[in-house]
Amino acid sequence: MKVEVTDWDTSDYLNGNEAMIAYLEASFEDGDPKVIAMALGNIAKAKGMSQVAKQAGITREALYKSLSEKGDPKLSTLIGVMKALGLRLSVAPEERAA
């Protein structure tokens, strides 16, 4: 039996602010910095990397690199990208299981 494989690009399915916010919230709940960076990269791609990079005050190449699988964005980059996406970071107490 032949298996057909289709390319998957998450950014193709992030077609509204609610979807983007839910996706990013889930990545923060995961807690893995690589997952968070990847989610930000997918959202930036959905919004347009060049536009997000310009609004964040960095080059498109730097944005791709910092939000890649091997990237580790600086806090200033993270805040700049979030602002460019029309989002902000907030702090809440961690919910712990009883």
* pLDDT, tens only, 38-93: 999 999 999 999 999 999 999 999 999 999 888 888 999 999 999 999 998 888 88
Give CA–CA dist 12/42, Å, rounded: 9
Give CA–CA dist 81/25, Å, rounded: 15
Give CA–CA dist 80/86, Å, rounded: 10
pLDDT at 98: 65
The SS3 of residue 78 is helix
Q: Where are the domains of the chain?
A: 11-84
pLDDT at 56: 95
pLDDT at 11: 85
Give CA–CA dist 68/72, Å, rounded: 8
pTM of the model: 0.82
| Position 79, amino acid | I
